[in-house]
Structure 1
Amino acid sequence: MPTARRTAEITYIGVRHHSPACARLVREVVRRLRPAYVLVEGPADFSARLGELLLGHDLPIAIFSHYRDEARVHASWSPFCAYSPEWVAINEGRACGAEVRFIDLPAWHPALAGRRNRYADADERYAEVNERLCRSFAVDNSDTLWDHMFEGAGEEAAGGAESAAMDSLEERLAAYFDLVRGESEAGPDDTEREAYMARWVRAAAADADGRPVVVVTGGFHRAAVRRLVEGGDADPDGGWPEVPLPPEGAIGGSYLVPYSFERLDAFTGYQSGMPSPEYYQRLWEGGPAAAAAGLTEIVVNRLRKRRQPVSTADLIAARTLTDGLARLRGHHAPARTDLLDGLVAALVTDDLEQRLPWTSRGPLAPGAHPAVAEMVAALSGDRVGRLRPGTPAPPLVADAINELELLKLDGAGEVTVRLADDKGLRRSRVLHRLRVLGIPGFTRVSGPDTGAEPVLEERWTLAPGDHRLPALIEAGAYGASLLDAAAAVLEEKVLQAGSDVGRLASVLFDAALCGCADLSDRIAETIAAAIAGASELGGLGEVLGVTLGLWRHDRLLGTAGSPLFGRVVAGCVTRVLWLVEGMRGGPAAADPPRLHALAATRDALLHAAAPLGLDRDAALAVAARVSASTDAPPDLRGAAFGLGWSLGQAGDPVRALLGAAQPQTIGDWLAGLFALARDEVFAEEEGREPSADGEGGEDANGRGVLAVLDGLIVRMSEEDFLIALPALRQAFEFFPPREREAIAKRLLERRGQRGSGRALLRADRDPMLVAAGRALEEKVDRLLAAEGLAAAGAVHGYRETS
């Protein structure tokens, strides 16, 4: 391999990330060779800051990298724990005086754009090889296969045989990764990364002056990097590769963050490296026998704390079964699945409804047996990393800590925030910004939901914890202050919502709560575009209702008269009216969301037309056309008439009611009318003298909507009444209880009866059941009369009181 220009001996170590076996191999090779350079797969732009990694942090930690430009937002992590081969390479390289460098492309680079984790191996590329090997070794999955082939190597050796065991491990790893790469496709992203890493290797070999060079990369890349180095030439200028810089105008950076075993574990969704990190930590520290013994006790203790009965005999049985399974499977000491299978066999006596989670890969499925879940949790561990004080952090961290200390929000417990004073509003905004950023430990228990309610305080629960600092560091990707970062997150949420106007309503209210409703012109433009393309009336109504309430009434949060919210209101009104006029369809059930959308449009036209420049005349024209259309759904026809009535448009509600007086449509038409003009209908009813005509009379001239409706219902057949009743009941739900009681009382007065309207509303039988019974009686009467068996019975009574 050496050439005249490059005489260094290069040792390539392909590793599986977070593997104790690979970490032991790296440690042994670096200590034995004492190389001039140790080159590690990692972000090359962090090489100059390797000293930050070695400040004495408590592992696990990660390099968090973020990037943002006009077209792309990206965040990724490069995690390290004590048994990560990359971590061992860095520390052992520094200990022996080697020059240590990261040699992979920066995390922001497009070649890594699809990865949220640099060390996330693409398992699908290994699938065919692993499936064949799993069948050959009679194991369930790639994790069990890996343990069987590699973990514990070196533990069998005694005395001077350790070096031979490491040589054997190195050969087997090389053979495995060569097999994987030989049968797997490498995409253009991989080849770009490998070509870049090869340039670093060639440069280091040329500069090593004959001393060894050790290269530590993911096993998938090992053979390709070696092939590129051996088949290529050193760079013409003989220098080191340039570290790519982000494009002009892009924002990015990298910081260390505390990590946790929970985030590393495949059973919680992490798709790189090894599952059960606590098991492998103990394997790294004391070997497989010690790991199995220690974790057996931990599992037993966890189960006992959960009041699961576990006796000493059960513990002995678990250890015996674990050791027996290890020998049966040809293991010198218990492997991870030997331990888990032994624990299940000894401690679980129930039938299991699911496959054991370690027989596959991925998150623990809901409904797992409690004892199995405790076993998985014990082997996962609860270790959380900590950074040494003074470790560089993004400006957001200091801003958040200062705000919390200044506002006395850095403690734990319940906090009440009063929105009516300046300090309380500032505290609320800081807490909401932290909530929007996803910082754990800040939970709102109660507070305003729309901005239009008379709610003057909020209650929060504060719970500081180990996960707060990592979240703050990662949130630093959005901005240097809580205000800027929250605004950036809201802008991102607006973009993610797309045309889902229901989600936009939530984002707008969060913007009000955070005090950043008018910070971003881009938010306004994106929302306007989403509204202009929205096709779902219910969602538009939700946005319009929330936004109009804030624009009109919000003095607490400071959004009253907001230009952004005014623009949203105007856009929603225009879009709602356009969609309503284009809707066609025959009889259908009333749709409350679209009726609420029209009601919100009515409110906007009543209260904001002049300041926002809303075209009231155009809205009245739409209402007139829709209410007269025979193709529009009945509820929209009624709502359109109600919109015109509530805005003062002349029209005859009784004539309109009579035009909709079919059993299939009358209830839905009324639902639309009541949703938009309930106040007008009720005021008309209250302003009239009750008629003495118990049947409602034949002449509707000069009578109100409810009086005419009474007459129409009385004249219905039982069958028609049964058809109309469900929609009629839904329509009257638009009246609040007190108004329904008043309407019931007027109904009694119209019949010259005395009684309580409230009692009339509290029928002791289901009205639908009674109506169905009366319809059946009427049908029977007709059949009897047709056969000459009896005179058709007169139906009377029920509808007059229903």
Structure 2
Amino acid sequence: MTVHVFGIRHHGPGSARSMLASLRKLQPDAVLIEGPPDADHLIGMAADAGLKPPVAILIFDVEHPRKAVYYPFAAFSPEWQALRYAAEAGVPARFIDLPMALRLGQEDEKDDGETEKAESEGGAIPAAARDGLPGDPVRWLAEAAGDPDPERWWERMVEQRGSSEGVFEGIAEAMGALREAWKPPGDWEARREAHMRQAIRVAVREGRQNVAVVCGAWHAPALQKMPSASTDAAILRGLKAVKVEATWIPWTHGRLALESGYGAGVESPGWYNHLWTHAEDPLPVWMTRVVRLMRDQDLDASPAQAIEAMRLAETLSAMRGRASPTLEDVTEAVQASICFGSDIPVQLIRERLIIGDELGELPPGAPAVPLQRDLEHQQRSLRLKAEPLERVVDLDLRNPGRLAVSHLLHRLLLLNIPWGVLQRGSGAKGTFHEIWKLQWRPEFALAVIEAGVWGNTVVEAATARLAEAAEAVIERLRERAALTTDLAQMMGALAPLASTLRYGSVRKTDADLLTSVIAGLVNRVADGLVAGTRDVDDDTARDIAGLILDVNRALAVIGNEGWLEQWRAALESLGVRANRHGLVVGRACRLLLDASRLAVAECSRRLGLALSRGADPTQAGAWVEGFLEGSGLVLLTNDELWQVLDGWLASIRAEDFMVLLPLLRRTFATFPAGERRQIGERAARGAVRTAADDGEDIDLERAAMVEPVLRALLGDIDG
């Protein structure tokens, strides 16, 4: 019985190539891989051609899906190649790290759902182990070799080796020396390594004679020197487990990048993937990809420049004593030969090629929650591909297909899956356009799982989520309403809230909660209406007048008599203020007149005061506009108001009339065509004489003769 331990660098193509060569030579009868045993049932899918990396294993707590962890795999990851080798060779493979069910089950465990990283944390050294001594331990090895850059040293000594002979023995020896100088591993590192050793013992007890173990380089010495089984059992004793589930999800090279925050990330996943895919002669293909990218972005690039860049990269590599050009050599050559020394195209190359934007794929039979399957079905039917690159789409909502896309994106937003972000102020004409910025991120897979509790389809889940979301919005609205002092803001909120309350039973909105919010707004608007209209300019007065009308209509829709009474009392206080803008005072008086809270005679008196000779003509015109805007029917039914307005128009001075004419035309233009015609006909007939005007035609002597009879019939009207 022999156990071979391969200490690799996670996502290192050189490590993967050396390990794969060693496995083919060794031909083990079992492959044990550092990874979550909770996902052992997913290993068989690695042989499916439809599972295309980059992909990740997502493991989450069933009761608390937000507590989750990702284990990413790229084509150049040693763990992925180990899985593929086992599938092709027909030998069993299993994961041997400490199960996530135990890690997530500890009350004092850090919430891994917030970290988006696998448990294999550092490149060659776990981040948790780096706290034992000052500095990076790999830096010690690099400095001992005379290289100030530990990453470049590791890449040159391990990743770029042409031969795998002796590489893993050397890694294990170096890591063993570092571990001897290190403090003992922390509790979780010790538990992880104890579980790995226990898994090795299980394989041996099963009769495996040639076992291959693939693990992070830091763990290799701990798996070669096996303590007693009882010691490891004691380390693992007392751990509590929770129920977890695991699934494959698509991943991206961008999420493998070190700058994304992933603990085991690499600086250049796109470059590593290129080296793995084009191992024989990577440079010509890389330069071709660079030129194509430049041309796609309408930047100058030619085959001659690509050839020059390739030659320059090889020259730089030779000058620096390297066997083959590194990414540093290649990037410098591209910047000099193709980018004319500019940093901007180099940044584009870094984002699109060096890091990369490739998104993995899952086979149709991959395990998924029903909501995920429904989402994928809708993506296919709507031809809406999930892509990691940000793109902008313009949806014409008159098209049924584009309208369905809009519905899907809005529903996903309701489920906290912001695949698309609606852009405001796009400049599109009409209301039938929506501009969306789309970008799919791998972590949305977890959000889909979390949203699965609301329903098995996107429509069901969004509908069920709506009620709770509405409660949260209303509660937030209550907080904002309590804090704001902006009268216009409060008045503007009342109309849509009133509509929601009116139809709340249909939309399953919490009417009681919404009622309390509206009641608070009505109180504050009524109390602040008079003060909020002091010293306003023409534009602000116009806005407030419109809001006064909106609030009046909204409260009429609700039909709450208490709120209407509060509101009309506020209008009455505003209607008697001579020092307020004529537009808002006129609007208040008109609404009170329509509600029968203001007598026609009193309204005529106020109109007469507003239009008196001593009044400012522009303010008088504003009063008329506020009073009459939208409907002139009141002039046709009330002779007194007609007389006051007619007299004012007849008395306006010529210079004032020219100033007021646009205002009056604007006001009368808001009347329905039939009302304008009737008003014109009445004006053409001349002045209307009321009973008060005809006093001289009454025969007082004859009237005195019938007065006693009228008193007898009507009673003593004086007393």
Which residue does 2:217 correspond to in 1? 219
* Structure 1 position 336, deviation (Å): 1.7
Q: Deviation per CA, 1:96-153, whole angstroms, max 9, x where unpaired?
A: 4543111234556425444313167357655634566677778786543432232211
Q: Verify: 1:230 aligned to 2:227, yes or no.
A: yes
Name the amino acid aligned to 2:157: M
Which residue does 2:509 correspond to in 1? 564
* Structure 1 position 648, deviation (Å): 4.8
* Structure 1 position 538, deviation (Å): 7.7
Name the amino acid aligned to 1:41: E
Q: Deviation per CA, 1:240-286, whole angstroms, max 9, x where unpaired?
A: 99998635xxxx63322333434434567766432333422232244
* Structure 1 position 653, deviation (Å): 4.6
Q: Deviation per CA, 1:616-638, whole angstroms, max 9, x where unpaired?
A: 49x95xxxxxxxxxxxxxxxxxx
* Structure 1 position 37, deviation (Å): 3.1
Which residue does 1:148 correspond to in 2? 156
Q: Deviation per CA, 1:544-585, whole angstroms, max 9, x where unpaired?
A: 966952661799xx8675342534533433565799999xx9
Q: Is the 8 A contact 1:55 1:388 kept in 2?
A: yes
Partner residue of 1:54 out of 43, 47, 59: 47
* Structure 1 position 52, deviation (Å): 1.8
* Structure 1 position 332, deviation (Å): 0.9
Name the amino acid aligned to 2:7: G
Q: Secondary structure in 2 aligned to 1:322?
A: helix
Gap change, CA 1:550 and 1:611, over 3 Å in 2: closer
Gap change, CA 1:186 and 1:469, over 3 Å in 2: closer
Q: Deviation per CA, 1:383-414, whole angstroms, max 9, x where unpaired?
A: 44333343333322443456678xx7458998
In structure 2, how many angstroms separate the alpha carbons of the residues matched to 1:131 and 1:682? 83
Which residue does 1:495 correspond to in 2? none
Name the amino acid aligned to 1:258: P
Which residue does 2:657 correspond to in 1? 754
Q: Secondary structure in 1 aligned to 2:242?
A: coil
Q: Is the 8 A contact 1:694 1:750 kept in 2?
A: no
Which residue does 1:549 correspond to in 2? 496
In structure 2, the gaps of 5 or more residues are 386-392, 592-602, 633-644, 665-719
In structure 2, how many angstroms separate the alpha carbons of the residues matched to 1:545 and 1:142? 61
Residues 284-303 of structure 1 mapped to structure 2, 5 A cutoff: 284-287=276-279, 290-303=281-294
Name the amino acid aligned to 2:309: A
Which residue does 1:167 correspond to in 2? 166
Name the amino acid aligned to 1:146: W
Name the amino acid aligned to 1:336: L
Gap change, CA 1:706 and 1:462, over 3 Å in 2: closer
Q: Secondary structure in 1 aligned to 2:166?
A: helix
Q: Is the 8 A contact 1:103 1:197 kept in 2?
A: yes
Gap change, CA 1:417 and 1:559, over 3 Å in 2: farther
Q: Secondary structure in 1 aligned to 2:246?
A: strand
Name the amino acid aligned to 1:433: R
Q: Percent identity?
A: 21
Which residue does 2:96 correspond to in 1? 103
Q: Is the 8 A contact 1:15 1:85 kept in 2?
A: yes
Gap change, CA 1:400 and 1:114, over 3 Å in 2: closer
In structure 2, how many angstroms separate the alpha carbons of the residues matched to 1:375 and 1:89? 29
Q: Secondary structure in 2 aligned to 1:301?
A: helix
Partner residue of 2:251 out of 238, 255, 259: 259
TM-score, normalised to structure 1's length? 0.59
Please report the RMSD computed on the Cα atoms of aligned residues, expressed in angstroms: 5.9
Partner residue of 2:588 out of 663, 667, 680: 680
Residues 390-409 of structure 1 mapped to structure 2, 5 A cutoff: 390-400=365-375, 409=382
Which residue does 2:242 correspond to in 1? 246
Question: Which gives a bigger RCO, structure 1 or 2 (Cα 8 Å, sep 6+)?
Answer: 2
Q: Is the 8 A contact 1:518 1:562 kept in 2?
A: no
Q: Secondary structure in 2 aligned to 1:73?
A: coil
Gap change, CA 1:601 and 1:377, over 3 Å in 2: same
Which residue does 2:314 correspond to in 1? 323
In structure 1, how many angstroms separate the alpha carbons of the residues matched to 2:30 and 2:58? 25
Gap change, CA 1:258 and 1:424, over 3 Å in 2: closer
Gap change, CA 1:278 and 1:400, over 3 Å in 2: closer
In structure 1, how many angstroms separate the alpha carbons of the residues matched to 2:548 and 2:319? 74
* Structure 1 position 319, deviation (Å): 2.1
Residues 523-542 of structure 1 mapped to structure 2, 5 A cutoff: 523=469, 526-527=472-473, 530-531=476-477, 534=480, 536-537=483-484
TM-score, normalised to structure 2's length? 0.64
Q: Secondary structure in 2 aligned to 1:391?
A: coil
Q: Is the 8 A contact 2:61 2:67 kept in 1?
A: yes
Q: Verify: 1:77 aligned to 2:70, yes or no.
A: yes
Which residue does 2:411 correspond to in 1? 433
Q: Is the 8 A contact 2:45 2:51 kept in 1?
A: no
Which residue does 1:204 correspond to in 2? 203
In structure 2, how many angstroms separate the alpha carbons of the residues matched to 1:737 and 1:137? 87
Which residue does 1:345 correspond to in 2? 336
Q: Deviation per CA, 1:634-662, whole angstroms, max 9, x where unpaired?
A: xxxxxxxxxx55755556752786xxxxx
Which residue does 1:13 correspond to in 2? 6
Q: Is the 8 A contact 2:33 2:213 kept in 1?
A: yes
Name the amino acid aligned to 2:452: G
Which residue does 1:720 correspond to in 2? none
Q: Is the 8 A contact 2:175 2:218 kept in 1?
A: no
Q: Verify: 1:115 aligned to 2:115, yes or no.
A: yes
Q: Secondary structure in 2 aligned to 1:230?
A: coil
Gap change, CA 1:400 and 1:144, over 3 Å in 2: same
Q: Is the 8 A contact 1:82 1:281 kept in 2?
A: yes
Q: Deviation per CA, 1:432-461, whole angstroms, max 9, x where unpaired?
A: 3246558799787999xxxxxxx9x85579
Gap change, CA 1:329 and 1:472, over 3 Å in 2: same
Q: Secondary structure in 1 aligned to 2:281?
A: helix
Residues 601-616 of structure 1 mapped to structure 2, 5 A cutoff: 607=554, 616=563
Q: Is the 8 A contact 1:63 1:254 kept in 2?
A: no
Q: Verify: 1:387 aligned to 2:362, yes or no.
A: yes
Q: Is the 8 A contact 1:106 1:244 kept in 2?
A: no
* Structure 1 position 335, deviation (Å): 1.5
In structure 2, how many angstroms separate the alpha carbons of the residues matched to 1:678 and 1:198? 87
Name the amino acid aligned to 2:117: N
Gap change, CA 1:483 and 1:550, over 3 Å in 2: farther
Paired residues, what number?
A: 603
Q: Verify: 1:276 aligned to 2:268, yes or no.
A: yes
* Structure 1 position 200, deviation (Å): 2.2
Gap change, CA 1:571 and 1:469, over 3 Å in 2: same
Which residue does 1:786 correspond to in 2? none
* Structure 1 position 19, deviation (Å): 0.7
Partner residue of 1:475 out of 432, 439, 448: 448
Worse-matched range after superposition: 289-298 or 607-616: 607-616
Q: Highest CA radius of gyration, 1 or 2?
A: 2
Q: Secondary structure in 1 aligned to 2:657?
A: coil
Gap change, CA 1:563 and 1:94, over 3 Å in 2: closer
Q: Is the 8 A contact 2:7 2:216 kept in 1?
A: yes
Q: Verify: 1:373 aligned to 2:386, yes or no.
A: no
In structure 1, the gaps of 5 or more residues are 1-7, 156-161, 353-368, 448-454, 489-513, 621-643, 658-669, 697-703, 711-731, 762-802
In structure 2, how many angstroms separate the alpha carbons of the residues matched to 1:302 and 1:65? 33
Which residue does 1:766 correspond to in 2? none
Q: Secondary structure in 2 aligned to 1:396?
A: helix
Which residue does 2:300 correspond to in 1? 309
Name the amino acid aligned to 1:60: P
Q: Is the 8 A contact 1:20 1:284 kept in 2?
A: yes
In structure 1, how many angstroms separate the alpha carbons of the residues matched to 2:60 and 2:490? 31
